[in-house]
Structure 1
Amino acid sequence: ARFIRALEKAGRLNRAIEYLPTEEELAQRMAERRGLTRPELAVLLAYAKITLYDDLLASDLPDDPAMAEDLLRYFPQALREGQRDAIGRHRLRREIVATQVTNSLVNRVGPTFVKETMEKTGLGPADVARACVIVREVFGLSDLWDAIDALDTRVPATAQTALQLDILALMERTVAWFLANAAHPLDLAAEVATFRPGLETLAGTLDRVLDAEESSRLDARAASHTAHGVPEALARRVAALPVLAAVPDLVRIAGRTGRAVPEVAAVYFGLGRRFALEWLRDKAVAARIDNHWQRQAVAAIVDDLFAHQMELTVRVLEQDAETPSVEGWVATHAAAVDRVEPLVAELRAQATIDLPMLTVASRQLRGLTTGA
């Protein structure tokens, strides 16, 4: 509904002409837990592409040298190999790049992703697109998407959708991270060069930084995909994404403290286990959401919990230059820890967790980072 209203406000859409539901009809559908029909979604998909294309074409994104591969991928392989220089001089290269990025974004993350991210961050569509390209390259998402597409007719469509949703969850987390934490304007090549090695390092050391329970959860996620015919290698790559989503935090902390990524990861995930941070984030995501503002509240809580984990990791690493230890840090901050642990234990004992409870938990955890 918000996306439709935004298009109307911008003068880009007349919902009556497009046979889209009125505000009253949308409210009724929400009350009945019904969404838009496929034809209605197709209309919004088209408008999302038209709008984003215009915005990107008006920006400097198509001129970025880092977008050269997107330009090349538009052409057949034979032309890419023999006419690379000519393609780079193509008179419609800007339009082609804008089209490629637009189609990739809207097809992969949906028609409202860019608009919703703009609302959360206050940044423009080109900024969001840049962050999406960075995440795509750092995490090798193009290969994952191609592998999922190659499963057409080989596995149920629901299995492919589940894989895509796992990637979308990664995108939601990491795109917001780069928009909030990286220098602007985002330097595509520099950000990829900074964070891609950290991704490769963490992916190669997961068996050393995850405990038995976390490894078991990763195995279970992979098994949920292979049970529907997804190849083991692809299933495990996608199953690891919730863990690998921490890479931006880990690389930033490593640069801040001078520690290696595996050492940072051991403390980061150790703190997550010690204070049930992943469990709290899972409960926040699973909380019942009835409107846009509750969705924003959930996003804020999740972001805060990640921020607490990052700042706590820095504090642990800076406390001991030789052998940083989560338990050693806990022992020297017993008063603050003693205020948090009973609260977390009480939350774990509850049958249901709501947003006010999570808000209180996040505030108590913030006390660990402020020394309160």
Structure 2
Amino acid sequence: LISKGGGVFSRRTKSIPLSAEMKKWLNTKKLSITPNEFIHQILQMPVDLLWNGGIGTYVKSSKENDSDVGDRANDAVRVNGKQLQAKIIGEGGNLGCTQLGRVEFAKLGGKINTDFIDNVGGVDCSDNEVNIKILLNALVNNGDLTVKQRNAMLYEMTDDVADIVLDDCYRQTQSISITDQANVVQIKEQLRFIHTLERDGHLNRELEYIPTDEEFSERIADGVGLTRPELSVLISYAKMVLKEELNQAAITDNAYYQKFLVGSFPQLLQDKYQAQMQQHPLRGEIIATKLTNYMINDMGINFAHRLNEETGASICDIAIAYSTVKALYDLGDLWRDVEQLDNKIDSSLQLQILDSMRRSVRRATRWMLREHTQFESINSAIEFYRPVYSDLLNNISEYLVAEEVTSLNNTVASYVEQGVPEAIAYRIGIQSNAFSALDLAHIVEKTQLKPALVERLYFQLGSHLQLHWFLEQINQQGVNNHWQALARASYREELDHQQRLLTISILKRSEKLASIAQVDDLLVNWMDENSNLINRWSSMMSEFKTSQSHEFAKFSVALRELLLLTNKVSAS
């Protein structure tokens, strides 16, 4: 496996003879080189991947002295992060780089995580091994297995455990990549999360080399976000804290999450010992860990914290709402479909798609928490929303106006042109429209009408009153602080609520709606009867269109005007 001209050399030898190939890579005419100089030069080679798998710290930052590193044996070979020319660094060994060295390299465009992210497979494998052995040992003690059978099963499950571990590692680094690509966009949310970790005594920012508030301000001004090494620290703390918060009976005794316990074991054990898994002494920890990994890998570092701040909901309620939305949206299958596009589409596009899925699920989860509808179980909630959601996925073109159908088709076509299969492109493109299924399900329940009739009026009303266009303006409104972010979210909620109330009020004007044509006639008649208020609203939307940027007060005034229309309709 050694390349032509290469070799394996001892660091104790006096000098290493250089082959023609080695001279070319090192850009030198020397005939030989000392081992220390050789390593020093190798570290600075322009390569795709620099893999560290041994003992010692070989990279520091230019702001650190060798004495700061605490590895005297490698002082002569060590380089600074800014001297590295590799595109990617992988740390198979511990402390191959100092954290500041990683950050320095990352700031210059290098791709690097941390040692505890890159070599997490060993820890993950050990955790799986412990959980499996506890289960098998209990079976042996109960006389259900012999020691010989236990050992044979452990050997048989080797590849399955490896697959579980690799999937965990893949999903975690993928999550970091999604957040990393967003760059500075999420930095203010991340700072609030850091403040919370500090306040609750979980994080020592100085010890973990997390930037100060002043450094955050500088990065915001420069349009630079946190680096992958810094995000690696935060994702680790986020998982540690969330796991503790989720290890409660509201989660671990919830029937829906029992599949997380079973799914944490290899298929061989799932097929034979599901009942015995319920007696596992680490049952709660296993479920909480699995749910934590799903939530943070899917939704990012500060998802639960952000929704807790925005809605006041408990972490367990946030987890339940997220699980409901994830199942309703079939997020697991769609996410896997997008993952299957590895090396088939541009990776930045792939990450953008996954980020758009994050935003869709976050919006729907927030809606669930604000709605406060009580269901017997997660499955009953899914069953309540599923019929309308499925109908939208399959028939939405029948309910949208022509220009919205064209817009959806153009979005899908754009993804297809970039290599995304059409079926996946459609599922991604329809996310924004499909969100309406949440409101629509409640309208269907309230009016007892067929979903198709409700959906038709809802979307036609949204088009005629330009509510969908107005929503886009809200979504595009930039925010400079936490309070503006909360205001923008509340505007979205208020607009959704008004459209829901208007739809219910209009539908209740007729007791015999049986066709799409009747729905269209009902809407036309309603608009004629309320032309004065509708014209006033339309004039306000026209005024919005004269400007590319808007003050927050404009949205408040506009929503107040819409409320007047809603109140009049509700009272009539």
Give the shorter-chain TM-score range: over 0.9
1:223 & 1:53 partners in 2: Cα distance? Answer: 41
Which of these residues, 444, 449, 455, is aligned with residue 254 of structure 1? 444
Which of these residues, 210, 221, 228, is aligned with residue 418 of structure 2? 228
The structural deviation recorded for 1:103 is 0.6
Which of these residues, 326, 331, 343, is aligned with residue 528 of structure 2? 331
Is structure 2 residue 542 aligned with structure 1 residue 345?
A: yes
2:568 & 2:319 partners in 1: Cα distance? Answer: 38
1:1-372 correspondence to structure 2 within 5 Å: 1-184=191-374, 187-322=377-512, 323-324=518-519, 325-371=522-568
The structural deviation recorded for 1:184 is 4.7
Question: Conserved in 2, the CA contact under 8 Å of 1:71 and 1:93?
Answer: yes
Question: Conserved in 1, the CA contact under 8 Å of 2:444 and 2:454?
Answer: yes
Question: Conserved in 1, the CA contact under 8 Å of 2:465 and 2:534?
Answer: no
The structural deviation recorded for 1:186 is 7.1
1:270 & 1:330 partners in 2: Cα distance? Answer: 12
Instruction: Tell me which residue corresponds to 2:103.
Output: none
Question: Conserved in 1, the CA contact under 8 Å of 2:401 and 2:463?
Answer: no
Deviations 1:266-310 (A, max 9, x none): 111111101111111111111222211111111111111111111
Larger deviation, residues 276-285 vs 124-133 = 276-285
Aligned-partner residue type, residue 334 of structure 1:
S
RMSD: 1.7
The structural deviation recorded for 1:59 is 4.3
Point out where structure 2 has 5 or more consecutive residues left out of the alignment. 1-190, 513-517
2:277 & 2:403 partners in 1: Cα distance? Answer: 51
2:232 & 2:417 partners in 1: Cα distance? Answer: 31
Deviations 1:305-361 (A, max 9, x none): 111111111111111222442222112222321221111122123233342222222
2:489 & 2:237 partners in 1: Cα distance? Answer: 26
Deviations 1:55-95 (A, max 9, x none): 00034212111113222322233333333333344332322
Aligned-partner residue type, residue 124 of structure 1:
S
Deviations 1:228-269 (A, max 9, x none): 211111111111111111111000010011112111111111
Report the secondary structure of 2:508's partner residue. helix
Report the secondary structure of 1:218's partner residue. helix
The structural deviation recorded for 1:129 is 0.5
Question: Highest Rg: 1 or 2?
Answer: 2
2:375 & 2:204 partners in 1: Cα distance? Answer: 34
Would you say how many aligned residue pairs link Structure 1 and Structure 2? 372
Higher relative CO (Cα under 8 Å, sequence separation at least 6) belongs to 1
Report the secondary structure of 1:350's partner residue. coil
2:363 & 2:546 partners in 1: Cα distance? Answer: 28
Question: Conserved in 2, the CA contact under 8 Å of 1:202 and 1:261?
Answer: no
The structural deviation recorded for 1:172 is 2.1
Question: Conserved in 1, the CA contact under 8 Å of 2:341 and 2:350?
Answer: yes
2:272 & 2:429 partners in 1: Cα distance? Answer: 38
Aligned-partner residue type, residue 269 of structure 2:
L
Instruction: Tell me which residue corresponds to 2:170.
Output: none
Larger deviation, residues 105-114 vs 343-352 = 343-352
Aligned-partner residue type, residue 211 of structure 1:
V
2:280 & 2:547 partners in 1: Cα distance? Answer: 61
Residues 185 and 116 (structure 1 numbering): CA distance in 2 closer, same or farther, change over 3 Å?
farther
Report the secondary structure of 1:371's partner residue. helix
1:78 & 1:154 partners in 2: Cα distance? Answer: 33
Aligned-partner residue type, residue 402 of structure 2:
A
Question: Conserved in 2, the CA contact under 8 Å of 1:198 and 1:261?
Answer: yes
1:132 & 1:70 partners in 2: Cα distance? Answer: 15
Question: Conserved in 2, the CA contact under 8 Å of 1:127 and 1:186?
Answer: no
The structural deviation recorded for 1:150 is 1.7
Question: Conserved in 2, the CA contact under 8 Å of 1:308 and 1:369?
Answer: yes
The structural deviation recorded for 1:211 is 2.1
Question: Conserved in 1, the CA contact under 8 Å of 2:334 and 2:424?
Answer: yes
Residues 222 and 56 (structure 1 numbering): CA distance in 2 closer, same or farther, change over 3 Å?
same
1:219 & 1:162 partners in 2: Cα distance? Answer: 19
Larger deviation, residues 195-204 vs 73-82 = 73-82
Question: Conserved in 1, the CA contact under 8 Å of 2:353 and 2:428?
Answer: yes
Aligned-partner residue type, residue 275 of structure 1:
L
Deviations 1:195-217 (A, max 9, x none): 12221122222121122211111
1:193 & 1:334 partners in 2: Cα distance? Answer: 39
Report the secondary structure of 1:319's partner residue. coil
Aligned-partner residue type, residue 349 of structure 1:
T
Aligned-partner residue type, residue 3 of structure 1:
F
2:245 & 2:496 partners in 1: Cα distance? Answer: 31
Residues 154 and 77 (structure 1 numbering): CA distance in 2 closer, same or farther, change over 3 Å?
farther
Q: TM-score, normalised by structure 2?
A: 0.63
Question: Conserved in 2, the CA contact under 8 Å of 1:222 and 1:232?
Answer: yes
Question: Conserved in 1, the CA contact under 8 Å of 2:412 and 2:425?
Answer: yes
